[in-house]
Each structure stands twice: as C-alpha cells, then as structure tokens.
C-alpha cells in the first residue's frame, strides 16, 4: 500500500471527514479545552454515573431548591425526614426525634357534688359516675390527672384513705402501682390520708400526677376511698353541705 503525503495547505475545506479518521485516533492533546460546552449536551445526557463522588458542591446548587419544592401544608408525620449537618456530614433524621412535646392534645373532665361515704375497710369508688376517660393518640403520650375541691370529712378517731385507680382498655379499675409512679413506694401513694384525733377533720382534695400509660386504648381514672376503723368516713360532705370536686385528665404530647 503506497502512502501519499499531502501538504495541509493543499487540502480543501472539509476534505477530512470522520470516515477518514481511525477509531481513537484523536487524543486529548488534539482537543481544545472548550470544545465540549453545554450546547453540545442534550437533556439528560449527563447522569449520576458521570459525576464523581462529592463533585456537586453548594455553589452548583440553585438557591431555590427548597423554596421551589412542593409545600407541606400540615405538621410533618413522625416518619417525615429532614437533612441535618452532623459536624459537617449530611445525615437524615425523622421528625419524631426532633418534634419535642408538651402540647395538650385533648382534655376530659367531670365534676362531683354528691354524698359519698363508707364504713368499708376496702377501697370503694367515690361516686358511681365520678371517673374520667380519654383515648391517647400515641403510646408516647403522657396523661396529667388532677383532682381538686370538695371536702373529705371524718371525726371520732377515724382514719380515711383515698387512692387513684386506673383502667386501661376493657380491664378493671385498679390502684396504680409503683411501676406507674416510681420505685420508692408500693403504690401511687395516698391521694389523701386523714386521721381525726378526738374531733372532726375536713380536708380539700388535691391530686396531680403525670401518668405514662403507654397505650392507645381508652384510659379511665377514678378515686377510691376507705375507712380503716370501720366507722363512717365521708369523701365529700361537710355537715350536709356538698362541695364541688373536679376530676380532669389531659393528654400531653410525649417528650423525647
């Protein structure tokens, strides 16, 4: 095969076509730095495999990347995710881990202004309908239980105990135990323990406790009382005058 040497000045324009160029014949050294521009790229031509790791910097990201996205018009779900910088490293975190708590989600309340007395040494419910119930929206919710008002009444060396009972779901009302409160006592502790020595005693009811039922079933609270001497004690009476007692339960959004 003979080789013909041509002077480039004798080549007419467009004389060298791609058909005359061998595969891989043009090296980087023969390509101008600006030969490939955005006008040579079609939409979607550069995919993720063409990008090096960490090659897209903040300077290359449009500042409307967040404001241009679809707006969330309600509180995020617990599994919605956010990007955070953990000492310079991007990480994701669920909303459930950062949303905090303490917001009152619902309130249930009931009042009692009747007569309630007993001679029993076993705890008796203080009024047939004197109970309050609500259904927590989350297992992480707390329930603040409060009872206030009224007047417990006893005399003649008598002793009266009042305790708060709780029922979860379809179970039975039962006294709240140490697991519900702390490890320092065998029970929630008396809402009231009153002893009258040779005279009469009148005490207003006062009870506040932040419960952690850990359930989404209905939770019911009710006060019970008893006499330790077998003599009559009164949950709410003062010589025939009945005072108003309020019992309230509030669901508090759980803390972290």
Given a contact cutoff of 8 angstroms between Cβ atoms, the answer to whether 226 and 121 are in contact is: yes
Q: Which tokens sit at 88?
A: 């310079």
Domain membership flag for residue 228: yes
Domain membership flag for residue 173: yes
Residue 186 has what pLDDT? 41
At 190, the pLDDT band (50, 70, 90 cuts) reads: low
Domain membership flag for residue 26: no
- The answer on pLDDT for 179 being more than 50 is no
Domain membership flag for residue 45: no
At 111, the pLDDT band (50, 70, 90 cuts) reads: very high
How far is the first Cα of the chain from the last one, in angstroms, to the nearest whole number? 84
Domain membership flag for residue 203: no
Domain membership flag for residue 124: yes
| Overall average pLDDT of the 207-217 stretch | 90
d(CA 181, CA 191): 13
Nearest CA-CA partner of 139 in 168, 165, 98: 168
Given a contact cutoff of 8 angstroms between Cβ atoms, the answer to whether 204 and 198 are in contact is: no
Residue 127 has what pLDDT? 87
- Cα angle 151, 152, 153 (rounded to 5 degrees) comes to 110
Which residue segment(s) compose the domain that 233 sits in? 114-196+212-252
DSSP one-letter string for the chain:
-------GGGSPTT-S-GGGSPTT-S-GGGS-TTSS-GGGPPTT-S-GGGSPTT-S-GGGS-TTTTTTSPPP-SPPPTT-EEEEEETTEEEEEEGGGTS----EEEEEEEEE-S--EE--SS-EESSTT--EEE--SSTT-EEEEEEEEEEEEEESS-EEEEEEEEEETTS--EE-BGGGS-SSSSBS--SEEEE-SSSEEEEEEEEEEEE----SS-EEEEEEEEESSSS-EESS-BTTBPPPEEEEEEEEPPP-
Determine what percent of the chain is predicted with pLDDT higher than 90: 28
Nearest CA-CA partner of 190 in 219, 157, 228, 154: 228
- Our count of domains for the chain comes to 1
- Across 61-65, 128-132, 236-240, which has the greatest mean pLDDT? 128-132
Does the model's pTM come out above 0.95?
no
Domain membership flag for residue 150: yes
d(CA 14, CA 125): 105
At 131, the pLDDT band (50, 70, 90 cuts) reads: very high
Residue 184 has what pLDDT? 39
Domain membership flag for residue 128: yes
Given a contact cutoff of 8 angstroms between Cβ atoms, the answer to whether 151 and 237 are in contact is: yes
- The answer on pLDDT for 100 being more than 80 is no
């Amino acid at each position: 095969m003979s080789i013909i040497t041509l002077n480039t000045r004798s080549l007419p324009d467009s004389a060298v076509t791609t058909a005359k160029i061998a595969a891989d014949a043009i090296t980087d050294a023969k390509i101008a730095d600006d030969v490939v521009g955005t006008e040579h790229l079609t939409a979607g031509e550069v995919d993720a495999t063409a990008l090096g790791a960490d090659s897209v910097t903040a300077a290359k990201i449009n500042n409307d990347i967040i404001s241009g996205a679809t707006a969330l018009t309600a509180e995020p779900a617990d599994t919605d995710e956010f990007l955070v910088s953990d000492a310079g490293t991007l990480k994701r975190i669920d909303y459930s881990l950062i949303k905090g708590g303490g917001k009152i989600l619902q309130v249930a309340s009931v009042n009692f202004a009747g007569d309630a007395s007993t001679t029993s040494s076993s705890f008796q419910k203080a009024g047939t309908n004197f109970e309050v119930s609500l259904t927590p929206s989350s297992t992480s919710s707390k329930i603040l239980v409060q009872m206030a008002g009224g007047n417990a009444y006893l005399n003649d060396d008598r002793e009266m105990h009042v305790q708060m009972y709780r029922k979860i779901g379809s179970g039975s009302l039962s006294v709240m135990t140490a697991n519900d409160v702390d490890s320092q006592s065998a029970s929630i502790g008396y809402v009231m323990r009153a002893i009258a020595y040779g005279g009469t005693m009148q005490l207003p009811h006062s009870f506040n406790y932040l419960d952690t039922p850990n359930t989404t079933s209905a939770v019911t609270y009710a006060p019970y009382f008893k006499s330790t001497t077998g003599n009559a004690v009164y949950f709410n009476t003062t010589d025939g005058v009945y005072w108003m007692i309020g019992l309230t339960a509030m669901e508090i959004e759980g803390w972290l």
